Amino acid sequence: MSEKHRNCYENVRQRSLEYAKAKYKTDEKYRDKILLSSSNKYKRDARYKRNLIQFGKEKYKRNAGYRKELLDKGKTKYRNDQKYRDYLKQCSKKKYDEDDKHRALVRQKGVQKYKTNFFFREAVIEKKTWMSDCDRLEQFALDDFVLHHVSRKQSYVGENEQIRNLHRAKGGGVAAYIKQRSQFVRVQMPIRDIEGLMLKDMDTEITFVIIYKPSVYTTKHFLQRLELLLNILHQTSRNNIILGDFNENLLSTTTSTPIQKFMKEFGYHQLVDFATTENRTLIDHVYSNIPNGIHVHVCPTYYSYHEAIRIDMSSSIDWV
């Protein structure tokens, strides 16, 4: 082929590609046809599949916009698609067990997160433990952490029938792992008949209250105890974060959310806006009376019905 013919061919090819791209963006039927054809070819043509995967990897490495778009889509799908989330968890667990390099990378990222994330480094909070008074806490020990725990039996001491039933019930309780040599100290819960644990960070002077509300604990009685707690906190601590499993689904369109409304009346805003369980419910709440500077993020868990929630506190917090 002569030089003239090659240039002519290249010009026609370029114009055809531009036309096809424009049509792909504007013509839905044409786009669906191309996607279906590509999907079928991907399934039956091994060479085409390898080339497409390689092209995607190279584009992911060199194109920051494409990389961000792909990551955002993956996060959104993970939050909204339970089958995809379960599939991803299984793949990740399998890769962790079988791939030494992947396992080392995960551990390395964990160390990096430990060094750079204040809350991850200082405290790991468990909302509901299923530990009893008979359990020896040493069996739950973690290196470099101090375990604080209050059982369900210790929490409920009242005389009415509901409280007595909760006192005898199995499971429940709350716990927190606190980094040794941190500035977190445990504070005595000022009220009883509520499953809770109170901690104070002496550096920031933020009080953390970890709460678990059993589903069988009527909201009416729970709010009565919570009101007493909030009144005491109002007098003793200016900056508070109250978090835990409240068994009130804030994503429900058919049930009311009296706990959230009650907290709002006391000046607390709820920060979690994503599902926190495998059933796509939002029953794990984080309430704060600090105007801004507190951010929450989902942390996928492999062995729990609940997802974990990470709390980040920026250096520009507006204190009350």
Whether residues 159 and 277 fall in one domain: yes
Domain end: 62, 87, 110, which one?
62
Would you state the pLDDT for residue 164? 93
pLDDT above 70: percentage of residues in the chain: 87
Whether residues 157 and 302 fall in one domain: yes
Whether residues 43 and 160 fall in one domain: no
Whether residues 44 and 175 fall in one domain: no
Residue 318's pLDDT band (boundaries 50, 70, 90)? low
Report the chain's mean pLDDT, rounded to a whole number: 84
Residue 204, amino acid: T
Would residue 34 count as lying in a domain?
yes
How far apart (Å, rounded) are the C-alpha atoms in residues 225 and 163? 12
Whether residues 252 and 153 fall in one domain: yes
pLDDT above 90: percentage of residues in the chain: 35
Per-residue pLDDT, averaged over 226-248, amounts to: 95
Residue 70, C-beta contacts closer than 8 angstroms, at least 6 positions apart: 60
Would you state the pLDDT for residue 121? 47
| Residue 137 in this model has a pLDDT that exceeds 60 | yes
Least confident interval from 55-59, 136-140, 183-187, 290-294: 136-140
HSE on the CB side for 62, CA within 13 Å? 6
Would residue 212 count as lying in a domain?
yes
Would residue 96 count as lying in a domain?
no
Whether residues 44 and 131 fall in one domain: no
How far apart (Å, rounded) are the C-alpha atoms in residues 32 and 175? 52
Would residue 19 count as lying in a domain?
yes
Domain end: 44, 62, 80, which one?
62
Would residue 209 count as lying in a domain?
yes
| Residue 67 in this model has a pLDDT that exceeds 60 | yes
Question: 0.95 exceeded by the pTM?
Answer: no
Which among 210, 236, 80, 227 is positioned nearest to 147, based on CA atoms? 210
Residue 204's pLDDT band (boundaries 50, 70, 90)? confident
* Domains of the chain: total: 2
Would you state the pLDDT for residue 242? 97
| Residue 179 in this model has a pLDDT that exceeds 50 | yes
* Residue 174, strand partner residues: 150
Whether residues 139 and 53 fall in one domain: no
- Summarised one tens digit per residue, pLDDT across range 15-40 is 888 888 888 888 888 888 888 888 88
Would you state the pLDDT for residue 139? 73
| Residue 307 in this model has a pLDDT that exceeds 60 | yes
Range of the domain at 38: 3-62
Would residue 200 count as lying in a domain?
yes
Whether residues 135 and 16 fall in one domain: no
Whether residues 39 and 131 fall in one domain: no
Would you state the pLDDT for residue 30? 87
Would you state the pLDDT for residue 110? 61
Whether residues 137 and 286 fall in one domain: yes
Per-residue pLDDT, averaged over 272-276, amounts to: 93
Per-residue pLDDT, averaged over 221-236, amounts to: 96
Whether residues 22 and 167 fall in one domain: no
Domain end: 38, 62, 86, which one?
62
Whether residues 139 and 26 fall in one domain: no
Would residue 118 count as lying in a domain?
no
Would you state the pLDDT for residue 128? 56
**Residue 272 contacts residue 296 (beta carbons within 8 Å):** yes
